[in-house]
Amino acid sequence: MLFLENIPQFLFFTGKGGVGKTSLACATAIKLADEGKRVLLVSTDPASNVGQVFGITIGNTITPVIAVGHLSALEIDPQAAAQVYRDKIVGPVRGVLPAAVVSSIAEQLSGACTTEIAAFDEFTGLLTNAAILHDFDHIIFDTAPTGHTIRMLQLPGAWSGFLEDGKGDASCLGPLAGLEKQREQYHAAVAALSDPERTRMILVARAQGATLREAARTHEELAAIGFRHQYLVINGALPQSEVGSDLLAAAVWKREQAALAAMPEILRDAPTDFVPLRPFNLVGLPALRALLVSGAVENVPTQTAVSIPAVPSLASLVDGLVGSGHGLIMTMGKGGVGKTTVAAAIALELASRGYAVHLTTSDPAAHLIETLAGSLDNLTVSRIDPHAETERYRQEVMASKGKNLDAAGRALLEEDLRSPCTEEIAVFQAFSRIIREAGKKFVVMDTAPTGHTLLLLDATGSYDREIKRKMLNTSVHFTTPMMQLQDTTLTKVLIITLAETTPVLEAAGLQLDLQRAGIAPWAWIINNSLAMAKPSSALLRQRAYNELAQINEVANKYAQRWAVIPLQAQEPVGLERLQQLIHGTTPTAQL
């Protein structure tokens, strides 16, 4: 493997959700640790599943992986990091400053901006902490899906420049109070990230058009902020030897080869490795050790056939979504499970039934237009673009708050609005604006992968608490975005997953997080099921067999309503193929 040659101290695995970053990062960490290297595996994903992969609890402290000598792991928990950050700032002033001032500081530190800064603070500390750098030969970062990662990697320069210019002393005063002390740490982090002798960026993709295009965009964005030496790993490619007489396998292989042939030019010069599709679930040490080693395909187990109950079609779920003819429908789940595809198919079906539909996304790496590849009456499509929304928010604030300020005041306000915190506020406002439309039409929202969505919901919850506090002693009727999300007559959340161990566990965790926020998921959809597609290839048949336990887990333990979408022979792109997802059959399967 080219990406494993002459490895520097820092390795970053990044890419579109669902391409296998976590599996590759874990397998690489184990391989290096088995060779006697001291390795720290770090997840920067707000919805990390590294602990699930190893079958242990890791959390927000460096934890030895007992089963693997020389390996430790850490999951950066944004909420825990935010609490530590708040305590570090508020603790020293308690009993020193008036209670009202302390309360005001704590209030300023309650939002999503603080969460982002705190997680970022931990991330840069790993790049610069002398003790950690001494204790570990390699630090491997399993990052959040691409859009969130690009944002994280831009932050050292953004915050460093922001502080260098002497900004940040207005509305972000609370969250930024601790940043000034970290100026040297941020400069050192920028130096480490931009040095190819110390840092290697590994783009992970599938042999699919969408993930390769995403990798190309990521390549350009990373190059623009200093990461010019990048490696490419094509993960989970179906070996030609598995095609045989299996029509599904043949279609998948041809589809993958066509995607590779059409690979964006910018990726062609990158050092590239191929990791073949494996027949086993990538959970547990034996599977992870086998991932980077060539091996034979396992035989299909000889146990008694397992029957899947007949399942409802996606069309029947849409019948239940229609309700009063309007409302908010949100697809949520781990990256790469097909949220965008399912959201587009549902929006298309509702529009074809004559309803007005607004299809939108909060995913920074969304591909709605590419997925639809066409237009339909009654259907409008949009995207919450963080850059565009930030500029819109800046202009609105300058036009309102800056209207009566003098030149010095306007200059100070402009500086404050250049803070990276501003983007979080702007995206939340765009989210709130769009979901208000659900009172008159259908709004179908394709959300960002789980971790990023939870941060957005955290901002929604913070706003909800603030509004309720201010309106406590008034008789004015009001509805916050969180109250809309909690209203099951208005909002229906669809959890999208794959019939694999890690996606189902993460989806179950997402459901718990939503329930704690008072949001009840309406249905689960299992996407790209091999069990329902009935392959004959030995490798695909083994993977199909492995799905059965997860499908039964969803049906019997987690979901009130559920549906299964079979793996499609053709990539579900374009109006016709999306309609096939809705109306295609999902027969009972036996293996």
Residue 339 is among the residues annotated as catalytic for this protein: no
CA 463 to each of CA 149, 381, 385, 517: distance values in angstroms, whole numbers, following the listed order: 25, 27, 21, 13
CA gap 204, 215 in Å, rounded: 7
Mode of pairing for the β-strands spanning 523-529 and 562-566: parallel
Which residues on adjacent β-strands are paired with residue 141? 12, 42
The closest alpha carbon to 343, from 329, 353, 356, belongs to 329
Residue 488 is among the residues annotated as catalytic for this protein: no
Give phi and psi for 359, each to the nearest 5.
Answer: -100, 125
Which residues on adjacent β-strands are paired with residue 205? 234
Residue 464 is among the residues annotated as catalytic for this protein: no
The closest alpha carbon to 449, from 394, 380, 495, 487, belongs to 495
Task: Count Cα atoms within 13 angstroms, Cβ side, for 61.
Answer: 3
Residue 18 is among the residues annotated as catalytic for this protein: yes
Judge contact between 486 and 460, C-beta under 8 A: no
The closest alpha carbon to 230, from 259, 260, 268, belongs to 268
Token code pair at residue 76: 């950066």
Token code pair at residue 483: 């109250």
Rounded to 5°, the CA angle 252-254-255 comes to: 60
Residue 439 is among the residues annotated as catalytic for this protein: no
Options 15, 20, 168, 209, the catalytic residue: 20
CA gap 226, 152 in Å, rounded: 14
Options 14, 22, 218, 497, the catalytic residue: 22
Options 14, 16, 17, 21, the catalytic residue: 21
Give phi and psi for 288, each to the nearest 5.
Answer: -65, -35
The secondary structure of residue 279, as a DSSP letter, is: S
Give phi and psi for 537, each to the nearest 5.
Answer: -55, 140
Distance of CA 330 to the CA centre of its chain: 15
CA gap 519, 540 in Å, rounded: 36
Residue 22 is among the residues annotated as catalytic for this protein: yes
Residue 294 is among the residues annotated as catalytic for this protein: no
Judge contact between 47 and 455, C-beta under 8 A: no
Phi-psi region of 385 (alpha: psi -120 to 50; beta: other; left: phi over 0): beta
Options 15, 17, 18, 333, the catalytic residue: 18
Options 45, 363, 446, 458, the catalytic residue: 45
Options 16, 17, 23, 115, the catalytic residue: 23
Handedness of CA 414, 416, 422, 426 (dihedral sign): negative
Handedness of CA 293, 297, 302, 304 (dihedral sign): positive
- Continuous segment of H or E residues that includes residue 221: helix 209-224
Options 143, 160, 362, 502, the catalytic residue: 502
CA gap 33, 56 in Å, rounded: 17
Active-site residues, by number, are 18, 20-23, 45, 502
